[in-house]
A and B are shown apart, each in its own frame.
Chain A
Amino acid sequence: MDRFVFLTFDGLSRGAVYAAFALALVLIWRAARIVNFAQGAMAVATAYVGYSVADATGSYWLGFLVAVVAGLLLGAGVERVVMRFVDHSSPLNGVVVALGLVLIIQGVLGMIYGNEFRPAEAPLSRDAFEIGGIALLSRYDLFVFGAVGAVVVLLTLLFTRTPTGLRMRAAAFAPDVSRLLGVPVGGMLTLGWALAAGVGSLAGMLVIPTELGLHPTAMDIVFISAFTAAVLGGLDSPIGAVLGGLLVGLLLSYISGYLGATVAPMAVLALLVIVLLSRPDGLFARSKARTA
């Protein structure tokens, strides 16, 4: 029983990170109809920047902040310099360019920092609190929940309560009409990429201390879990992404805990296949059409 409780909390904590990462994918999908396959690599790149700053200044929190800001800038940069010029007549062009970015980012990171795992320390204790002899949550888990929760709330407020959010939504759903109405569609697109990459960087900073450490490919598996989470929730739905993330996190935790860690990637694949073939619009879909 206490093992089940522990796996549940561990799964929710990982799930929160997947949720944030899935949210980043959904943001770009809604804005540009591109699944950003470079999301993982971009997040790792900014995590390297963040930890470099943290090492240099001795302040993890400054590093954390720098990583998120670097994410915002990198996202904007990628959109302005590369993605804007992709021929969008086929969805595959964007995918191929994003995969090219993955190779570039991983190669450059390897050249600068080397391909060994660099230890990445968690800012808070990862020792779990025990209640009645049952290990529940660590301080770090609480921080993860807090950070992801804050992002979800802030994004919700942005999109529902501010004019900028409204313009972003308009630009994504009806770019031509929006342009006629004076919405800077290109700018909104850049902003969308920046926000998404910022959220991705945050997720990267949260997940890396729980793994072997910083490495150019550290986010590959996380990306696939998050992609599954986003598909599970329907690529169009931010709420679906959050729920999907938590669900994937829980499922992987139980499967790893009871069946063995090596089974987990197979479970992700199986889940992805089942969802894509049975409910391609996601478990929580409201709209009917999936265009791709």
Chain B
Amino acid sequence: MTALQDRAGTKATDRTKAKKISPWLVVVAGAIIVVALTYTLPPFRTYQLATVGAYLCVTAGLTVLTGLNGQLSLGHGALMATGAYTLALWQNKFNLLPVGILVAVLVTTAVGAVIGLAAARLRGPYLAGLTLAVAVVVPSITSTFDETFNSDQGLSVMLNPPPESMTNEQWQAWLCWGGALVTVLVLALLTRGRFGRDMKAVRDDETAARLAGISVARTQVAAFVVSAACAGLAGALFAVIAQSVSPGAFPLTLSLFLLMAIVIGGLGRLSGALIGAVLLVALPAVAHEIGEAAGSQRLEGNLALTFFGVVLVVVMLAAPGGLASLRVPFTKSIPFKKKGH
């Protein structure tokens, strides 16, 4: 997995080093590890593994958008909801999972394109504010159109039982990691090519990028659309593992947690997205254990919340490159470069 690191802002000499291991190899290795884990872990751990996979889809897409292209979105929770609800509606009507996931990704991509078109014209806090408003509009939509979305109660998702030979949790883990590995592979290939260079150029200096013949708006919209597709996939996978969708599953805090996940792992790095996805699952679990041990209900959710917040602030102040950047002192990886003005 380490070879997947996209060295945001690194020098050309580093890039050749990173290219030594092909992303194909990493994905195959990842698949083998996941399959091995699903046969060794107890059921609840397997379920958590599946959740990590689903999170990885969205964090990978988001880290490309924010880290490589410099666009901050707080609306990815809402995009996940789009994918999840699409899948739920599709399943309850047709009960054909593979097509359902594809449709969920396509619908979310379309929604992402609309938001992305608006986003490309906005910068910094304006974009954050707009996507924030998108994040809180989910419960409003589900209760206004409650005939379709059934309000706060949400929808249950019709699913066929998994194949006889495996447990439900194993099947969920395979499905989620199938999605996650495909996502990572596609993103790794995309960002290594011309698209990746364009995104970084736009992030670092829009004017220079424009002079170099890069269409700034098109690159930004494209980046948003790609990350929206990832979020849609993640949402669909969450709908499958939870067998239900509801607005409460996609609160504002989810979007903030996603941001924390990509910042802590190092913006723009796919390996960072993996670290973030693991932490999103592991930290609340650890906080729950601590809360239970301390006998205090109040600690439970709040401990994780506080920890995520502290991490976000400390990382931004002390090591803007994220945990993954601490190891190479001379390659500075600053997440947001100055815009040319």
Contact = CB atoms under 8 A, between A and B. Distances in A.
B188 interface: no
Nearest to A227: B129
A142 B118 CA distance: 40
B210 interface: no
Interface centre among B132, B306, B313, by most A CB within 10 Å? B313
Lowest 4 A-B CB distances belong to which pairs?
Answer: A103-B309, A90-B336, A100-B312, A107-B306
B302 interface: yes
A111 B137 contact: no
A115 interface: yes
A209 B164 CA distance: 56
A266 B312 contact: no
Interface string B302-325: 111111111111001100100000
Contacts of B309: 100-107
Contact of B70 (A92, A102, A264, A291): A92
B144 A106 contact: no
Given A93-B316, A101-B313, A292 B298 contact: no
Interface string A75-105: 0000000100111011111111101111111
A104 B306 contact: yes
Contact of A87 (B134, B136, B334): B334
A228 interface: yes
Contacts of B260: 100, 103
Interface stretch (B54-62, B82-90, B120-128, B230-238): B120-128
Given A35-B129, A91-B123, A276-B122, A111 B303 contact: yes
Interface string B241-260: 00000000000110010011
Given A102-B256, A110-B305, A280-B126, A93 B313 contact: no
Contact of A265 (B74, B130, B136, B307): B136
Interface of B: 66, 70, 72, 74, 118, 121-126, 128-130, 132-134, 136-137, 139-141, 143-144, 252-253, 256, 259-260, 263, 297-299, 301-313, 316-317, 320, 334-339, 341
A231 B129 CA distance: 9
24 contacts: A37-B128, A89-B337, A89-B338, A90-B335, A91-B123, A91-B125, A91-B336, A93-B335, A96-B316, A100-B260, A100-B309, A100-B316, A103-B260, A106-B309, A107-B304, A111-B303, A220-B136, A228-B133, A262-B144, A263-B140, A265-B137, A268-B137, A273-B130, A276-B118
B125 A99 contact: no
A87 B301 contact: no
B328 to A, nearest CB: 19
A277 interface: yes
Interface of A: 34-35, 37, 82, 85-87, 89-97, 99-108, 110-112, 114-115, 217, 220-221, 224, 227-228, 231, 260, 262-266, 268-269, 272-273, 276-277, 280, 291-292
Nearest to B72: A92
B125 A292 contact: yes
A272 B129 contact: yes
Contacts of A104: 305-306, 309-310, 313
B312 A95 contact: no
A100 B133 contact: no
A89 B310 contact: no
A266 B302 contact: no
B263 A86 contact: no
Summarize A's interface: helix, strand, loop or mixed. helix
Contacts of B335: 90, 92-93
Contacts of A280: 121-122, 126
Contacts, number: 170
Contacts of B121: 276-277, 280
Q: Which of B118, B137, B334 has the most CB of A within 10 A?
A: B137
Q: Which of B70, B306, B338 has its CB near the most chain A CB atoms (within 10 A)?
A: B306
B124 A86 contact: no
Given A86-B317, A107-B306, 13 more contacts: A86-B316, A89-B336, A90-B336, A91-B124, A93-B336, A99-B259, A103-B312, A104-B305, A108-B302, A115-B301, A262-B144, A265-B133, A266-B141
A224 B133 contact: yes
Contact of B140 (A92, A231, A266): A266
Contacts of B313: 82, 97, 100-101, 104
A141 B311 CA distance: 41
Contacts of A90: 70, 124, 335-339
B334 A34 contact: no
Nearest to A228: B133
A280 B127 CA distance: 11
A114 B311 CA distance: 22
Given A100-B260, A103-B308, A82 B118 contact: no
A96 B317 CA distance: 10
A104 B137 CA distance: 24
B123 A292 contact: yes
